[in-house]
Structure 1
Amino acid sequence: MQIHHVGDHRPLRAAEYPAIGDQLDVLWRWAAALPAALRTPELEAMLSHIEAVKTKYEKGGEDASG
């Protein structure tokens, strides 16, 4: 027996998925855990940028420049 949904499935799925920020956090942690030999230059650049932002704005802290 097949189930047929009527209407657009996209808003239903979107409502049940984790927030996009949570999804991206998981992906970036996974990418950071890859061996260096598997990281592309683009991935290394993005990971470096993310780490720089995290350092600049530490959790519970204020802007590092002020």
Structure 2
Amino acid sequence: MMRQSPLAAGIFYNILGGFFVFLAVQDVNVNGFRFFNYVLILLATFDIGTGLRLMLIHFKVKNSQN
């Protein structure tokens, strides 16, 4: 099984988080705040946080190897 680098996974999580933010903003503009919007915001928060953490891990490992 091939392992994915933390940088690639971090970028993927950040894109996914951005997509959830986009969906939440669009739904708020159409329907106002509902429970579903809070779920989207929560998912976006977790994804962006995980993405940033993975990208930081990548750069820390890269710096420690040099």
Task: Please confirm whether the aligned pair reaches a TM-score higher than 0.5, indicating the same fold.
Answer: no
TM-score (norm 2): 0.35
Query: Structure with the greater relative contact order (CA < 8 A, sep ≥ 6): 1 or 2?
Result: 2
Question: Highest CA radius of gyration, 1 or 2?
Answer: 1
TM-score (norm 1): 0.35
| Structure that is richer in helix per residue | 2
